Amino acid sequence: MDRFDDIPETALTWFQAGKGAALATVVETWGSAPRRTGAQLAISGAGEIAGSVSGGCVEGAVVAEALDAIETGKPMMLEYGVSDGDAFAVGLACGGTIRVLVEPVGQALPEPLLAELIAARAARTPVAYVTGMNVAPRLDRVGHEERFRMDRSGFEANGETFVAIHNPPLRLLIVGAVHIAQALVPMARLAGFDPVLIDPRAAFGNDTRFPGETILDDWPDEGVRGYGLDTRTALVLLTHDPKLDDPALIEALQSDAFYIGALGSSRTQAARVARMKAAGVTETQIARIHGPVGLDLGAAGPAEIAVSILAEMIRVLRQGA
């Protein structure tokens, strides 16, 4: 999974500095293409680049074409694959084929539209950039729910309209800086999540146990409320203490968090459900709680439990609850 990047932002900066700029986007792949659909490369009129469309295989060729596109102001559709002699010469020898749409900023991609896209990204608002060789570019905030959920860019059924999904970066909020969290935090970071811990207990939430990590010493419900949970945020409750978990859980169940998991056995989960009902939480909200947390892998020990939690988070993210 690609981490959040500043490729569109870089392109706009170059354009506003008078250098000229273009955005190159992978719009289709076949076989063992090195980058997923939606991957981007920014190119300045001075030949500077940021990002990647092929992991280095065809960037040189794309840059050369993009410089021409910046001069003409017209979009270009490029295709590279091992069956193409020119593409093989520039190094796409991984057995795949890619199509790349190059859009010069200012004409093919209007500056105000790019600025609007960047503002949406900064505000953590999911947005779809809709474009194509014969499609007037626009931004959609609704109408692509399945693509947003799957984080999947691609062509629509007509084969002409390309939808580039710009989702906010994934976040993981962990309540309880316990031993499972010590295993979960680095695993989640490797999987593309930005983790944050909440624990008011200094003996647990400290830099010695979690060097370099962000730790909020707030009461959990206050921390959850202040942090903000959206459709790209997962919450995992690990304290095993209702005094800490329950207030945060009630707060989270009113949010758009895509995943809410709570540590504990089936008996603990049943007691938790009873407490939620007594607190006035609805059946629909209660059904959002993944408890016992994690996939049933027969996990033993903190590291394996962390694996099961991360696996369940990703399954819900990609496949739905």
Domain boundaries, the chain: 7-166, 171-319
DSSP tag of 126: -
pLDDT band at 93; cut points 50, 70, 90: low
- Separation of alpha carbons 24 and 91, rounded Å: 18
Kindly give, in sequence order, each residue whose CB lies less than 8 Å from that of residue 104, ignoring residues fewer than 6 positions away: 20, 21, 22, 66, 69, 70, 72, 73, 74, 75
Residue 82 scores a pLDDT above 80: no
Which of residues 58 and 81 earns the better pLDDT score?
58
Which of residues 266 and 56 earns the better pLDDT score?
266
Q: Poorest-confidence range of 31-35, 142-146, 207-211, 239-243?
A: 31-35
Residue 2 scores a pLDDT above 50: no
pLDDT of residue 149: 81
pLDDT of residue 282: 96
Average pLDDT, the chain: 90
> Which is nearest to 9 in space by CA: 36, 37, 40?
40
Q: Poorest-confidence range of 6-15, 55-64, 109-118, 223-232?
A: 55-64
For residue 312, the number of C-alpha atoms closer than 13 Å in the C-beta half-sphere is 25
Beta bridge partners of 127: 166
Class of domain 171-319: alpha beta
- What's the average model confidence in pLDDT over 68-87? 80
Whether this model's pTM surpasses 0.85: no
pLDDT of residue 97: 80
Percentage with pLDDT > 70 across the chain: 92
Q: What is the pLDDT of residues 276-311, one digit of tens each?
A: 999 999 999 999 999 999 999 999 899 999 999 999
pLDDT of residue 56: 66
Task: Report the side by side order of strands in the sheet with 49-51.
Answer: 49-51, 40-44, 21-31, 96-104, 76-81
Helix (H), strand (E) counts: the chain: 11, 15
Residue 131 scores a pLDDT above 90: yes
- What's the average model confidence in pLDDT over 75-104? 71
- Pairing type for strands 171-175 and 194-198 reads parallel
- Whether 69 contacts 75, CB under 8 Å: yes
Residue 272 scores a pLDDT above 60: yes
> Which is nearest to 99 in space by CA: 79, 72, 76?
79
